[in-house]
Amino acid sequence: STSSKRKTTLLKQLLSSPQLAFLMEAHSGLSARIVEEAGFHGIWGSGLSISAQLGVRDSNEASWTQVLEVAEFMADATHIPILLDADTGFGNFNNARRLVRKLEDRGIAGCCIEDKCFPKTNSLLDGRQQPLADIQEFTLKIKACKDHQRDPDFCVVARVEAFIAGWGLQEALTRAEAYRNAGADAILIHSKKSDPSDIEAFMSQWGNKCPVMIVPTKYFKTPTEHFKELGISTVIWANHNLRASVSAMQNTCHQIMSEQSLVNIESKVASITEIFRLQQDHELRAAENLYLPKK
Amino acid sequence: STSSKRKTTLLKQLLSSPQLAFLMEAHSGLSARIVEEAGFHGIWGSGLSISAQLGVRDSNEASWTQVLEVAEFMADATHIPILLDADTGFGNFNNARRLVRKLEDRGIAGCCIEDKCFPKTNSLLDGRQQPLADIQEFTLKIKACKDHQRDPDFCVVARVEAFIAGWGLQEALTRAEAYRNAGADAILIHSKKSDPSDIEAFMSQWGNKCPVMIVPTKYFKTPTEHFKELGISTVIWANHNLRASVSAMQNTCHQIMSEQSLVNIESKVASITEIFRLQQDHELRAAENLYLPKK
Amino acid sequence: STSSKRKTTLLKQLLSSPQLAFLMEAHSGLSARIVEEAGFHGIWGSGLSISAQLGVRDSNEASWTQVLEVAEFMADATHIPILLDADTGFGNFNNARRLVRKLEDRGIAGCCIEDKCFPKTNSLLDGRQQPLADIQEFTLKIKACKDHQRDPDFCVVARVEAFIAGWGLQEALTRAEAYRNAGADAILIHSKKSDPSDIEAFMSQWGNKCPVMIVPTKYFKTPTEHFKELGISTVIWANHNLRASVSAMQNTCHQIMSEQSLVNIESKVASITEIFRLQQDHELRAAENLYLPKK
Amino acid sequence: STSSKRKTTLLKQLLSSPQLAFLMEAHSGLSARIVEEAGFHGIWGSGLSISAQLGVRDSNEASWTQVLEVAEFMADATHIPILLDADTGFGNFNNARRLVRKLEDRGIAGCCIEDKCFPKTNSLLDGRQQPLADIQEFTLKIKACKDHQRDPDFCVVARVEAFIAGWGLQEALTRAEAYRNAGADAILIHSKKSDPSDIEAFMSQWGNKCPVMIVPTKYFKTPTEHFKELGISTVIWANHNLRASVSAMQNTCHQIMSEQSLVNIESKVASITEIFRLQQDHELRAAENLYLPKK
Ligand SMILES: [Mg+2]
Ligand SMILES: [Mg+2]
Ligand SMILES: [Mg+2]
Ligand SMILES: [Mg+2]
């Protein structure tokens, strides 16, 4: 049974399994619980979504402890493993290795660190410089994280931004290999093309040396079957809960604003009872029966 | 122009204006910004929604400083006033008056405090005890808050839970009058009936002594015109952004889970560009042009 | 070797050992490390000291998550177990049981919960009401904490305030027995007398049913040998690091203020090198050699 | 009377006054209050002391929001202005300008930003690289902070680390002039020599263009009269409260550990009553008389 395994072990197995796995984005305790209830086996704690939810930019405007607190609420609300998007590790190797320990304490199963510079720039922004980290500096950062974790199954994923930054296949492969040698549990190879050609090129040369993760936000039209054929380990649906909630809230706000009434809203939105259920009120009710004095 | 007024002043004017005003719920920086963009003049920082978003229960499971941090992100993301649902004030008069100062520091325009006991129980839960606070204790709590605020326009709304707790009209009126005398800027009269009869009864006797707010979550079918006729000051649409986002995320998760693809999702959700716009990336881009060295 | 044991196990053994044990107060990461270096086997995370250090009162003015963060810094800075003064549990049984889980996550070995009402009043304040919690309510709170902990060795100490609140021996014994039956790992029997007569009376009747802790802040003249004779398990030196630092800072401030010079200060205070040593700079230096690129 | 002036205005006047001013270090709400009571007109929120107190290193191991929270407790506990040691601004210009807004919200009067790289290295550590920030990048960071503040009197002090990093007088002067032109309210010129020769060299060339602050931790033997002659604006006694408290706690711990008794401790440390006084219990007592129901 999976329930007796640590979340770190579950994530490690999910990454290394021959079957294509999926991580669904969440950005709060509530969205994390919804992901789990939908049947996903893992959660992507998206930096873009978390920052957007907080109302700030995906540029390390929120402090790393503010992100940590969001992650903790997510872990507390769920039983499946969370891979946290940890940007660049929020500083140098020392900041990154300290983060790993704090994530372990909070029940986060792994973190993904990208080879750019602090403060980070979102990879999908057009017309921005995306300076890469020095390869040696980032390799040692990964090694510091791996050396510092206490749970052997905690996962450190190294995200290669070579394609994003305008470098070619060779740079991507060199970096991926260096990070793998430093102990990375998986490589996340990122691309902002609208077709999977970057990914295809990478996979054709990578030779399955360690698990590869992808984020098809821009090449969303590619059939998932193709990712299987390429030998991808894990696909991340990276920001769609956030985007779905934005549309829904915008529509709801506009309708209430214009109609000045809830009459046509009630049937479109989750009921109050459903909110209470998601908050697991039944557990509190049972506990109150046990632990509150009978009047 | 409203832009030169403090948020506290804007809220005070909104509450005391003869026109019916509306507050729309938000529970995060992002949802607050969406409320502002939709044209609302004020935001309700719902305790139910904030706790649900965090993944915990509306029973003071999140600490008051965790709620404060959510409120701060909301205030930073918006220019319209926020009335924060402050439950019972998170303790006694001393906790409540300290909260008021912290809310002032964070740019929150006012708080609503309800006459129940810490830790609170959500008013819409069925089959739960809803013990009311001692009337004198709560009256003095309101007075402590009013005496302690530094900005004369910071608003303290006293929420009367007499109907929720199963008491009748007389108890509601006695409490409302006591809280008004203690300095409350408005009375929120709460009801969980599916019709507005509690509200009607209260308003027929209240005599417009000070502004009255309502939360028609349960009596949502009542036409808004009727609230105007009753002389209500402000209607709170109390949890509908949260509920809209829950439905949207559940639907999105289920579809992605079953289709294992984003193909049919992309057109249904806000675009990545829209997320960047909501994060006000344009402001950062302009600032980078000013404040980053030219390479 | 103790180093392979969990901190919870170390605390449990310390409480249940036949030898008299000592806990020394700390209120920050720094003071906790100083306690460990002095050779103590355990740390008392004093609520009075933590609140005073923060600049607030011992009346639950700091939120429970702010206290939790102080405790986390203390645990991260040390290898010996910490017993956190958790006041009344910061609310009802639900707040208390949730706190236990968070303390486990942060590496805190146990918590002490006192049978008074939230927000708490410091026991040593004169002329204040010290209302006791309902005995059944508090007994169930202890039970909820014990039922909810995941680590079987996490310690929940029940603090009996019957003497503080002006009740007699019988009330103290009745409560101690109820709390022990609910699962408390130890009883802390508190007294504000300047002699140990309350403690003597209690111990003469208690019959060693479970470990008993004391806090001789007011009866500090009693020889420690007498506590051994009485069969006490653990003595808490509860606030003396804080009080020592207050005197030292007041004296230093006054001298610098009046002399407008550091000349006579340098030799009286710890050196900058000693501060770096306490911060364990040597570990960072070694890590930088390993994990920073050679320029 | 000073009491009606904003803390920012008080700090600005203190920096620009012809009289030599003094800032005394604090690292917590408690130490800040002690500084105020001793008669100092301003507080230095030392990064070294705050990090040491937390139990971490002065290398940006604590997040900027954790530092902010310490600063908030300090501001809440005092009426005199606080100049916060903000290291490098915790990232780039965007992190720094956002910090300024948050400091304004918390009642901090100004911040000092140093021209090194994130994460920072303490200037007094021997044998460490101390890479300076690019001069243009840092100049624009200062400008961003000044452009972003809302209170015109909020002070941004630019700390020149040229001497610390092994560069000479010319580099120090070039940087100081660039930062002054960018809007810095004062220059902090730092030196780790045991004599004031760096400071003398700088002041002989600087020509009093804007106020200059110094930190004579290493050249503590220099008579204060000499700083007046040099035309220094403000002297910072930068870490002596922390160092005094460390010695006091180490001595107290060792004595209690060896004597297993408080008998010889009580008279050496501040009384419990003095702790209650520092916590301003009298204010709460008076408030309880006003705001708690009479039983
Ligand atoms: Mg990201
Ligand atoms: Mg509510
Ligand atoms: Mg205590
Ligand atoms: Mg510093």
> DSSP string covering C75-142, please?
HHT-SS-EEEE-TT-SSSHHHHHHHHHHHHHTT--EEEEESB-SSP--TT-TT---PBPPHHHHHHHH
The nearest CA of chain A is from the CA of C14 a distance in Å of 24
pLDDT surpasses 80 at D295: no
Alpha helices in B116-223 (DSSP H): 135-148, 169-181, 197-206
Q: Give D-chain residues touching A98 at CB under 8 angstroms.
A: 61
Q: For chain B, say whether D92 makes contact (Cβ under 8 Å).
A: yes
Mean pLDDT rounded to a whole number for chain B: 97
Q: Is D85 a catalytic residue?
A: no
Q: Give A-chain residues touching D61 at CB under 8 angstroms.
A: 94-95, 98
pLDDT surpasses 60 at D27: yes
* Contact partners, residue B64, CB within 8 Å, separation at least 6: B90, B91, B95, B99, C63
Contact C91 B118 (CB under 8 A): yes
Among the listed residues C58, C115, C153, C185, the single catalytic one is: C58
Who among C54, C125, C263 is closest to D276 (CB)? C125
Distance B148 CA to ligand 2 centre (A): 23
Q: Give C-chain residues touching B63 at CB under 8 angstroms.
A: 63-66
Alpha helices in chain C (DSSP H): 7-16, 29-37, 47-54, 64-76, 93-105, 135-148, 169-181, 197-206, 224-230, 240-259, 272-278, 281-291
Q: Give B-chain residues touching A240 at CB under 8 angstroms.
A: 252, 256, 262, 265, 269
The nearest CA of chain D is from the CA of C206 a distance in Å of 24
C186-227 pLDDT, tens digit per residue, is 999 999 999 999 999 999 999 989 999 999 999 999 999 999
Q: Give D-chain residues touching B134 at CB under 8 angstroms.
A: 293
C27-50 pLDDT, tens digit per residue, is 999 999 999 999 999 999 999 999
pLDDT surpasses 60 at B1: no
Cβ proximity of A113 and A67 under 8 Å? no
**What is the DSSP code string of B14-34?**
HHHSSS-EEEEEE-SHHHHHH
Q: Which of A126-130, A275-279, B229-233, C289-293 has the lowest mean pLDDT?
A: A126-130
Q: Which residue has the tokens 């607190």?
A: A69
Contact D94 B141 (CB under 8 A): no
Extract the tokens encoding B289.
């042009």
pLDDT of residue C3: 63
Q: What distance in Å separates the CA atoms of residue D87 and residue D50, rounded to the nearest whole number?
A: 12
pLDDT of residue C129: 86
Q: What distance in Å separates the CA atoms of residue C114 and residue C163, rounded to the nearest whole number?
A: 12
Ordered by where they begin, the domains of chain A are 2-239 (3.20.20.60), 246-291 (no CATH)
Q: Give C-chain residues touching B67 at CB under 8 angstroms.
A: none
| Site from C219, C243, C267 to mutate, D interface, most D CB atoms within 10 angstroms | C243
Q: For chain D, say whether C66 makes contact (Cβ under 8 Å).
A: yes
pLDDT surpasses 90 at D3: no
Cβ proximity of A182 and C290 under 8 Å? no
Q: What distance in Å separates the CA atoms of residue B232 and residue B226, rounded to the nearest whole number?
A: 9
Q: Chains with ≥3 Cβ pairs under 8 A against A?
A: B, C, D
Who among B241, B266, B284 is closest to A249 (CB)? B241
| Site from A23, A227, A241, A245 to mutate, B interface, most B CB atoms within 10 angstroms | A245
pLDDT surpasses 80 at B40: yes
CA dihedral C122, C128, C134, C137 (to 10 degrees): -30
Cβ proximity of D233 and D211 under 8 Å? yes
Q: Which residue has the tokens 């893992």?
A: A42
Q: Which residue of C has its CA nearest to B98?
A: C61
Q: What distance in Å separates the CA atoms of residue D109 and residue C99, rounded to the nearest whole number?
A: 36
Find the helix or strand (DSSP H, E) in which C267 lies. none
Mark the ranges of chain A whose per-residue pLDDT is less than 50: 1-2
Q: What distance in Å separates the CA atoms of residue A120 and residue A112, rounded to the nearest whole number?
A: 14
Environment class of residue C282 by beta-carbon count within 10 Å: exposed (0-12), middle (13-18) or buried (19+)? exposed
Q: For chain D, say whether B287 makes contact (Cβ under 8 Å).
A: yes
Who among B59, B63, B94 is closest to C63 (CB)? B63
pLDDT of residue B199: 98
Instruction: Please count the other Cβ atoms lying within 10 Å of the Cβ belonging to residue B206.
Output: 19
Q: What distance in Å separates the CA atoms of residue C280 and residue A147, rounded to the nearest whole number?
A: 18
Find the helix or strand (DSSP H, E) in which B233 lies. none
Residue C34 has phi, psi (to 5 degrees) of -65, -40
Q: Which residues pair with C44 in a beta bridge?
A: C25, C83
pLDDT of residue A3: 63
Position with higher pLDDT, D200 vs D130: D200
Residue B90 Ramachandran class (φ > 0 left, ψ -120 to 50 alpha, else beta): left
Q: Of A191, A197, A232, A198, which is closest to residue A215 (Cα–Cα)? A: A191
Cβ proximity of C197 and C169 under 8 Å? no
Quick one: average pLDDT of C269-284?
98
CA dihedral A97, A99, A104, A110 (to 10 degrees): -80
Quick one: average pLDDT of D62-88?
98
Extract the tokens encoding D42.
């301003």
Residue D16 has phi, psi (to 5 degrees) of -95, -5
Who among C106, C107, C134 is closest to A293 (CB)? C134
Find the helix or strand (DSSP H, E) in which A289 lies. helix A281-291
CA dihedral C243, C244, C246, C247 (to 10 degrees): 120
CA D235 to mean position of chain CA atoms? 11
Q: For chain C, say whether A66 makes contact (Cβ under 8 Å).
A: no
Q: Give residue D143's identity as a one-letter amino acid code.
A: K
Q: Which residues pair with A26 in a beta bridge?
A: A45
Helix (H, G, I), strand (E, B), or coil: what is residue D159?
A: strand
| Site from C58, C237, C253 to mutate, D interface, most D CB atoms within 10 angstroms | C253
Q: What distance in Å separates the CA atoms of residue D35 and residue A217, rounded to the nearest whole number?
A: 55
Q: For chain B, say whether D136 makes contact (Cβ under 8 Å).
A: yes
Which of D253-289 are b and which e, b meaning 16 or more Cβ less than 10 Å from the residue's Cβ? bebbeeebbbeebeeebbebeebbebbebeebeebbe
Cβ proximity of B235 and B21 under 8 Å? yes
Q: Which residue of A has its CA nearest to D66?
A: A65
Helix axes of C29-37 and D47-54: crossing angle, nearest 10 degrees: 60
pLDDT of residue B3: 63
**What is the DSSP code string of A122-159?**
-TT-TT---PBPPHHHHHHHHHHHHHH-SSTT-EEEEE
Who among A64, A98, A118 is closest to D118 (CB)? A118
Per-residue pLDDT band at D4 (split at 50, 70, 90): confident
Extract the tokens encoding A188.
């996340």
Among the listed residues B58, B87, B115, B153, the single catalytic one is: B58
Per-residue pLDDT band at C4 (split at 50, 70, 90): confident
Q: For chain B, say whether D281 makes contact (Cβ under 8 Å).
A: no
pLDDT of residue D1: 43
Contact D245 C240 (CB under 8 A): no
Extract the tokens encoding D273.
């009553």
Q: Which residue of C has its CA nearest to B66?
A: C65
* Contact partners, residue A224, CB within 8 Å, separation at least 6: A20, A235, B260, B261
Distance A276 CA to ligand 2 centre (A): 13
Q: Of B37, B41, B47, B40, which is closest to residue B12 (Cα–Cα)? A: B41
Who among A60, A66, A98 is closest to D95 (CB)? A60
Q: Give A-chain residues touching C293 at CB under 8 angstroms.
A: 134, 136-137, 140
pLDDT surpasses 80 at B295: no
Instruction: Please count the other Cβ atoms lying within 10 Å of the Cβ belonging to residue B224.
Output: 17
The nearest CA of chain D is from the CA of A91 a distance in Å of 6
Among the listed residues A58, A87, A115, A185, the single catalytic one is: A58
Cβ proximity of D81 and D109 under 8 Å? yes
Which of A79-100 are b and which e, b meaning 16 or more Cβ less than 10 Å from the residue's Cβ? ebbbbbbbbbbbbbbbbbbbbb
Q: For chain B, say whether C98 makes contact (Cβ under 8 Å).
A: yes
Q: Of B23, B270, B74, which is closest to residue A251 (Cα–Cα)? A: B270
Q: Which of B182-191, C119-128, C214-223, C232-241 has the lowest mean pLDDT?
A: C119-128
Q: Give residue D126's identity as a one-letter amino acid code.
A: D
Instruction: Please count the other Cβ atoms lying within 10 Å of the Cβ belonging to residue C170.
Output: 10
pLDDT surpasses 70 at D59: yes
Q: What distance in Å separates the CA atoms of residue B131 and residue B118, rounded to the nearest whole number?
A: 10
Per-residue pLDDT band at D129 (split at 50, 70, 90): confident
